[in-house]
Amino acid sequence: MRNIVYLDKKNKKYKGNTHLHTKWSDGKLDAEEVVERYKDLGYHFLCFSDHEIYTRTNEFDTETFITIPGMERGGLNPAFTTNDNIGFHFTVLDDPNIMVPERYYHLQQFEYPQKWEGDLSVTQCIRRLEEHGNLVILNHPEWHMTAFEVMKQYDFFAVEIYNHATEWSLSTSYGTAYWDYALQNGKRLFAIAADDSHDYNKDKKILEYGGGWIVVDSDKLTHRELMKNIKEGNYYSSSGPEIYDFRVEDGKVKIQCSQVQAIMFKSWPVRGDFIIDRDGSPLTGATLKINPLMTYVRVECIDCNGKTAWTNPIFIKDLL
Ligand SMILES: [Zn+2]
Ligand SMILES: [Zn+2]
Protein backbone atom coordinates (compact mmCIF):
# COMPACT_ATOMS: atom_id res chain seq x y z
CA MET A 1 0.00 0.00 0.00
CA ARG A 2 1.34 3.43 -1.00
CA ASN A 3 1.97 6.30 1.41
CA ILE A 4 0.17 9.53 0.42
CA VAL A 5 0.20 12.94 2.13
CA TYR A 6 -3.10 14.80 1.69
CA LEU A 7 -2.50 17.67 4.13
CA ASP A 8 1.01 18.38 5.32
CA LYS A 9 1.58 20.29 8.54
CA LYS A 10 4.67 21.81 6.91
CA ASN A 11 2.64 23.40 4.07
CA LYS A 12 1.04 26.83 3.98
CA LYS A 13 -2.71 26.81 4.47
CA TYR A 14 -5.18 29.28 3.00
CA LYS A 15 -8.73 29.81 4.28
CA GLY A 16 -11.56 30.71 1.92
CA ASN A 17 -15.28 30.88 1.27
CA THR A 18 -16.52 29.63 -2.09
CA HIS A 19 -20.18 30.61 -1.69
CA LEU A 20 -21.47 34.11 -0.94
CA HIS A 21 -23.58 36.85 -2.48
CA THR A 22 -22.96 40.53 -3.13
CA LYS A 23 -25.05 43.34 -4.61
CA TRP A 24 -24.24 41.85 -8.01
CA SER A 25 -27.22 39.56 -7.18
CA ASP A 26 -29.24 39.38 -3.95
CA GLY A 27 -26.49 40.18 -1.41
CA LYS A 28 -26.80 43.29 0.76
CA LEU A 29 -23.13 44.43 0.58
CA ASP A 30 -21.08 45.38 -2.42
CA ALA A 31 -18.03 43.30 -3.30
CA GLU A 32 -15.59 45.75 -1.72
CA GLU A 33 -17.31 45.58 1.68
CA VAL A 34 -17.62 41.80 1.47
CA VAL A 35 -13.87 41.54 0.90
CA GLU A 36 -13.12 43.79 3.89
CA ARG A 37 -15.40 41.83 6.25
CA TYR A 38 -13.86 38.49 5.24
CA LYS A 39 -10.32 39.85 5.48
CA ASP A 40 -11.14 40.96 9.04
CA LEU A 41 -12.12 37.36 9.74
CA GLY A 42 -8.74 36.10 8.52
CA TYR A 43 -9.77 34.77 5.10
CA HIS A 44 -7.29 34.56 2.22
CA PHE A 45 -9.66 33.98 -0.70
CA LEU A 46 -13.30 34.24 -1.78
CA CYS A 47 -15.47 33.48 -4.76
CA PHE A 48 -18.28 35.98 -5.46
CA SER A 49 -20.77 33.25 -6.33
CA ASP A 50 -23.63 35.55 -7.29
CA HIS A 51 -26.80 34.14 -8.82
CA GLU A 52 -26.65 33.79 -12.61
CA ILE A 53 -23.86 36.37 -13.00
CA TYR A 54 -20.23 35.39 -13.42
CA THR A 55 -17.50 37.41 -11.71
CA ARG A 56 -13.90 37.59 -12.86
CA THR A 57 -11.90 40.42 -11.39
CA ASN A 58 -8.47 40.88 -9.88
CA GLU A 59 -9.19 44.33 -8.44
CA PHE A 60 -9.16 42.98 -4.86
CA ASP A 61 -6.04 40.84 -5.20
CA THR A 62 -3.11 41.56 -2.89
CA GLU A 63 -0.16 39.56 -1.55
CA THR A 64 -2.39 38.04 1.11
CA PHE A 65 -5.82 37.89 -0.54
CA ILE A 66 -7.33 36.82 -3.89
CA THR A 67 -10.73 36.19 -5.47
CA ILE A 68 -11.57 33.16 -7.59
CA PRO A 69 -13.80 33.70 -10.65
CA GLY A 70 -17.19 31.97 -10.52
CA MET A 71 -20.93 32.19 -9.85
CA GLU A 72 -23.92 30.30 -8.48
CA ARG A 73 -25.90 28.75 -11.33
CA GLY A 74 -29.50 27.84 -10.59
CA GLY A 75 -32.92 28.02 -12.15
CA LEU A 76 -32.76 24.39 -13.16
CA ASN A 77 -35.91 22.84 -11.86
CA PRO A 78 -38.22 20.05 -12.99
CA ALA A 79 -41.41 21.86 -11.92
CA PHE A 80 -40.51 25.50 -11.61
CA THR A 81 -44.01 26.95 -11.45
CA THR A 82 -45.46 24.46 -8.96
CA ASN A 83 -42.53 23.76 -6.66
CA ASP A 84 -39.42 25.89 -6.83
CA ASN A 85 -37.91 24.20 -3.77
CA ILE A 86 -36.77 21.12 -5.62
CA GLY A 87 -34.05 21.99 -8.07
CA PHE A 88 -30.35 22.46 -8.61
CA HIS A 89 -27.94 25.19 -7.58
CA PHE A 90 -24.29 24.83 -8.46
CA THR A 91 -21.25 26.73 -7.23
CA VAL A 92 -19.13 27.23 -10.32
CA LEU A 93 -15.39 27.81 -9.79
CA ASP A 94 -13.03 28.79 -12.59
CA ASP A 95 -10.03 26.45 -12.84
CA PRO A 96 -7.29 28.01 -15.00
CA ASN A 97 -5.55 24.62 -15.18
CA ILE A 98 -8.32 23.38 -17.50
CA MET A 99 -7.53 24.53 -21.04
CA VAL A 100 -10.68 25.52 -22.93
CA PRO A 101 -11.31 27.72 -25.97
CA GLU A 102 -13.74 30.02 -24.18
CA ARG A 103 -14.23 31.16 -20.58
CA TYR A 104 -16.97 33.22 -18.99
CA TYR A 105 -16.24 36.93 -18.58
CA HIS A 106 -16.75 39.41 -15.75
CA LEU A 107 -20.44 40.19 -15.13
CA GLN A 108 -21.62 37.82 -17.86
CA GLN A 109 -25.29 37.08 -17.18
CA PHE A 110 -27.11 33.78 -17.58
CA GLU A 111 -30.78 33.04 -18.26
CA TYR A 112 -33.13 32.16 -15.41
CA PRO A 113 -34.91 29.80 -15.21
CA GLN A 114 -33.21 27.29 -17.46
CA LYS A 115 -35.41 25.21 -19.72
CA TRP A 116 -36.15 21.83 -18.13
CA GLU A 117 -35.85 18.99 -20.63
CA GLY A 118 -35.69 16.06 -18.26
CA ASP A 119 -32.65 14.64 -16.47
CA LEU A 120 -30.52 15.43 -19.51
CA SER A 121 -30.77 19.15 -18.77
CA VAL A 122 -28.74 18.67 -15.56
CA THR A 123 -26.02 16.75 -17.39
CA GLN A 124 -25.98 19.35 -20.17
CA CYS A 125 -25.77 22.24 -17.71
CA ILE A 126 -22.84 20.61 -15.85
CA ARG A 127 -21.09 19.85 -19.14
CA ARG A 128 -21.51 23.42 -20.41
CA LEU A 129 -20.02 24.83 -17.22
CA GLU A 130 -17.11 22.37 -17.38
CA GLU A 131 -16.50 23.14 -21.05
CA HIS A 132 -15.89 26.73 -19.98
CA GLY A 133 -13.17 25.67 -17.55
CA ASN A 134 -15.14 25.35 -14.33
CA LEU A 135 -15.47 22.89 -11.45
CA VAL A 136 -19.12 22.25 -10.51
CA ILE A 137 -20.24 21.85 -6.88
CA LEU A 138 -23.73 20.71 -5.90
CA ASN A 139 -25.06 23.23 -3.37
CA HIS A 140 -27.18 22.66 -0.26
CA PRO A 141 -28.86 19.37 -1.27
CA GLU A 142 -30.75 19.06 2.02
CA TRP A 143 -32.28 22.54 1.61
CA HIS A 144 -33.27 21.62 -1.95
CA MET A 145 -34.86 18.37 -0.73
CA THR A 146 -32.70 16.61 -3.29
CA ALA A 147 -33.42 12.92 -3.89
CA PHE A 148 -30.51 10.69 -2.92
CA GLU A 149 -30.65 9.05 -6.36
CA VAL A 150 -29.37 12.32 -7.85
CA MET A 151 -26.00 11.60 -6.29
CA LYS A 152 -25.70 8.46 -8.41
CA GLN A 153 -27.10 10.06 -11.56
CA TYR A 154 -24.67 12.94 -12.04
CA ASP A 155 -20.99 13.71 -11.68
CA PHE A 156 -20.16 16.72 -9.55
CA PHE A 157 -16.72 17.83 -8.45
CA ALA A 158 -17.95 18.26 -4.87
CA VAL A 159 -21.07 18.59 -2.74
CA GLU A 160 -21.71 21.20 -0.07
CA ILE A 161 -21.69 19.20 3.14
CA TYR A 162 -22.14 22.31 5.27
CA ASN A 163 -24.01 25.40 4.06
CA HIS A 164 -24.12 27.93 6.89
CA ALA A 165 -27.05 30.02 5.61
CA THR A 166 -29.39 27.07 5.52
CA GLU A 167 -28.42 26.15 9.09
CA TRP A 168 -29.62 29.38 10.70
CA SER A 169 -32.58 29.79 8.32
CA LEU A 170 -34.13 26.34 7.88
CA SER A 171 -31.82 23.93 9.70
CA THR A 172 -31.08 22.12 6.47
CA SER A 173 -27.36 22.72 6.23
CA TYR A 174 -25.76 19.28 6.19
CA GLY A 175 -24.98 17.24 3.10
CA THR A 176 -22.82 14.48 4.54
CA ALA A 177 -25.52 11.80 4.08
CA TYR A 178 -25.66 12.72 0.36
CA TRP A 179 -21.89 12.64 0.19
CA ASP A 180 -21.64 9.18 1.78
CA TYR A 181 -24.42 7.89 -0.47
CA ALA A 182 -22.45 9.01 -3.53
CA LEU A 183 -19.19 7.59 -2.17
CA GLN A 184 -20.86 4.30 -1.29
CA ASN A 185 -22.04 4.11 -4.89
CA GLY A 186 -18.52 4.50 -6.23
CA LYS A 187 -18.51 8.22 -7.04
CA ARG A 188 -15.31 10.19 -6.64
CA LEU A 189 -16.64 13.24 -4.84
CA PHE A 190 -15.10 15.89 -2.61
CA ALA A 191 -16.81 18.11 -0.03
CA ILE A 192 -17.17 21.85 0.57
CA ALA A 193 -18.25 23.84 3.62
CA ALA A 194 -19.32 27.41 2.85
CA ASP A 195 -21.28 30.38 4.20
CA ASP A 196 -23.76 31.21 1.39
CA SER A 197 -23.82 34.61 3.12
CA HIS A 198 -26.04 37.44 1.90
CA ASP A 199 -25.65 40.04 4.65
CA TYR A 200 -23.17 41.03 7.34
CA ASN A 201 -25.31 41.28 10.46
CA LYS A 202 -22.71 41.98 13.12
CA ASP A 203 -25.32 42.93 15.75
CA LYS A 204 -27.10 39.61 15.47
CA LYS A 205 -26.09 36.62 17.55
CA ILE A 206 -26.00 34.36 14.49
CA LEU A 207 -23.50 35.78 12.01
CA GLU A 208 -23.85 34.97 8.34
CA TYR A 209 -20.11 35.35 7.80
CA GLY A 210 -17.54 32.86 9.06
CA GLY A 211 -19.72 29.78 9.64
CA GLY A 212 -18.32 27.35 7.06
CA TRP A 213 -15.12 27.43 5.01
CA ILE A 214 -12.38 25.43 3.37
CA VAL A 215 -8.64 25.48 4.08
CA VAL A 216 -6.32 24.66 1.17
CA ASP A 217 -2.75 23.31 1.36
CA SER A 218 -0.87 25.33 -1.22
CA ASP A 219 2.66 26.63 -1.85
CA LYS A 220 1.38 29.93 -3.16
CA LEU A 221 -1.72 32.07 -2.89
CA THR A 222 -2.50 32.28 -6.60
CA HIS A 223 -5.66 31.40 -8.48
CA ARG A 224 -3.84 28.68 -10.43
CA GLU A 225 -2.14 27.04 -7.42
CA LEU A 226 -5.24 27.18 -5.24
CA MET A 227 -7.42 25.57 -7.90
CA LYS A 228 -4.79 22.91 -8.63
CA ASN A 229 -4.81 21.91 -4.97
CA ILE A 230 -8.59 22.14 -4.64
CA LYS A 231 -8.97 19.88 -7.68
CA GLU A 232 -6.58 17.35 -6.16
CA GLY A 233 -8.54 17.41 -2.90
CA ASN A 234 -5.68 18.94 -0.89
CA TYR A 235 -7.99 20.84 1.41
CA TYR A 236 -10.43 20.29 4.26
CA SER A 237 -13.83 21.75 5.13
CA SER A 238 -14.70 23.16 8.55
CA SER A 239 -17.23 24.92 10.74
CA GLY A 240 -14.68 25.28 13.57
CA PRO A 241 -11.78 22.86 14.19
CA GLU A 242 -8.50 22.90 12.27
CA ILE A 243 -6.76 19.97 10.61
CA TYR A 244 -2.99 20.25 10.46
CA ASP A 245 -1.92 16.98 8.88
CA PHE A 246 -3.66 14.10 7.11
CA ARG A 247 -1.88 11.18 5.51
CA VAL A 248 -1.66 7.46 4.86
CA GLU A 249 1.52 5.88 6.19
CA ASP A 250 2.28 2.15 6.49
CA GLY A 251 -1.34 1.15 5.89
CA LYS A 252 -2.70 3.57 8.50
CA VAL A 253 -4.72 6.78 8.20
CA LYS A 254 -3.20 9.43 10.46
CA ILE A 255 -4.71 12.79 11.37
CA GLN A 256 -3.54 15.71 13.52
CA CYS A 257 -5.98 18.48 14.45
CA SER A 258 -6.78 21.24 16.92
CA GLN A 259 -8.35 20.14 20.22
CA VAL A 260 -11.62 18.27 19.61
CA GLN A 261 -13.91 16.02 21.58
CA ALA A 262 -14.24 13.18 19.10
CA ILE A 263 -12.69 11.87 15.90
CA MET A 264 -14.80 9.70 13.58
CA PHE A 265 -13.31 7.63 10.78
CA LYS A 266 -16.12 7.19 8.27
CA SER A 267 -15.60 4.29 5.92
CA TRP A 268 -17.48 1.79 3.81
CA PRO A 269 -18.57 -1.01 3.80
CA VAL A 270 -16.68 -1.62 7.05
CA ARG A 271 -17.35 0.90 9.82
CA GLY A 272 -14.32 2.90 10.95
CA ASP A 273 -13.40 3.77 14.53
CA PHE A 274 -15.08 6.42 16.66
CA ILE A 275 -12.59 7.85 19.13
CA ILE A 276 -13.77 9.81 22.15
CA ASP A 277 -12.50 10.31 25.67
CA ARG A 278 -15.63 10.04 27.78
CA ASP A 279 -13.94 11.89 30.65
CA GLY A 280 -13.71 14.88 28.35
CA SER A 281 -9.96 15.05 27.69
CA PRO A 282 -9.47 16.70 24.31
CA LEU A 283 -8.01 14.80 21.36
CA THR A 284 -5.49 16.26 18.91
CA GLY A 285 -5.03 13.29 16.62
CA ALA A 286 -5.90 9.69 15.84
CA THR A 287 -4.87 6.72 13.71
CA LEU A 288 -6.88 4.04 11.88
CA LYS A 289 -5.54 0.82 10.42
CA ILE A 290 -6.99 0.45 6.94
CA ASN A 291 -9.09 -2.66 6.43
CA PRO A 292 -8.61 -3.91 2.83
CA LEU A 293 -12.41 -4.24 2.49
CA MET A 294 -12.83 -0.47 2.84
CA THR A 295 -13.44 1.49 -0.38
CA TYR A 296 -12.96 4.93 1.17
CA VAL A 297 -12.11 6.55 4.48
CA ARG A 298 -12.89 10.11 5.48
CA VAL A 299 -12.47 11.75 8.88
CA GLU A 300 -14.61 14.09 10.98
CA CYS A 301 -13.06 16.00 13.89
CA ILE A 302 -15.86 17.21 16.17
CA ASP A 303 -15.47 19.71 19.02
CA CYS A 304 -17.58 19.94 22.17
CA ASN A 305 -19.98 22.42 20.49
CA GLY A 306 -20.57 20.08 17.56
CA LYS A 307 -18.43 22.19 15.19
CA THR A 308 -16.71 19.88 12.77
CA ALA A 309 -13.76 19.65 10.39
CA TRP A 310 -14.18 17.20 7.50
CA THR A 311 -11.30 15.74 5.45
CA ASN A 312 -11.83 14.75 1.86
CA PRO A 313 -12.07 10.99 1.28
CA ILE A 314 -9.10 8.70 0.86
CA PHE A 315 -9.97 6.36 -2.00
CA ILE A 316 -8.38 3.04 -1.10
CA LYS A 317 -7.84 2.07 -4.75
CA ASP A 318 -5.49 5.10 -5.06
CA LEU A 319 -3.23 3.42 -2.49
CA LEU A 320 -2.93 0.06 -4.23
ZN1 LIG B 1 -28.32 28.34 -3.66
ZN1 LIG C 1 -26.17 30.97 -2.63
Taken in order of first residue, the domains within the chain and their CATH numbers are 12-237 (3.20.20.140), 240-320 (2.60.40)
| Omega within 30 of 0 (cis) for the link into 269 | yes
Tell me, in angstroms, the distance from the centre of ligand 1 to residue 69's CA: 17
Walking along the chain (320 residues) 10 residues at a time, the average pLDDT comes out as 98 98 98 98 98 98 98 88 79 98 98 90 97 98 93 97 90 94 98 96 87 98 98 98 98 98 98 93 97 98 97 98
User: Cα–Cα distance between 59 and 38 in angstroms, integer?
Assistant: 16
Query: What is the reported pLDDT for 32?
Result: 98
Tell me, in angstroms, the distance from the centre of ligand 1 to residue 232's CA: 24
Q: What is the DSSP letter of 27?
A: -
Nearest Cα neighbor of 276 from 295, 294, 300 is: 300
Tell me, in angstroms, the distance from the centre of ligand 1 to residue 294's CA: 33
User: Cα–Cα distance between 275 and 179 in angstroms, integer?
Assistant: 22
Nearest Cα neighbor of 89 from 177, 23, 26, 171 is: 26
Tell me, in angstroms, the distance from the centre of ligand 1 to residue 109's CA: 16
CA atoms within 13 A on the CB side of 240: 12
Tell me, in angstroms, the distance from the centre of ligand 2 to residue 49's CA: 7
Query: What is the reported pLDDT for 83?
Result: 67
Tell me, in angstroms, the distance from the centre of ligand 1 to residue 169's CA: 13
Q: Are 17 and 195 in contact (CB under 8 A)?
A: yes
Tell me, in angstroms, the distance from the centre of ligand 2 to residue 166's CA: 10
What are phi and psi for residue 7, nearest 5 degrees?
-135, 125
Tell me, in angstroms, the distance from the centre of ligand 2 to residue 18's CA: 10
Given 3-state DSSP classes, what are the helix, strand and coil percentages for the chain, each rounded to the nearest 5?
15, 35, 50
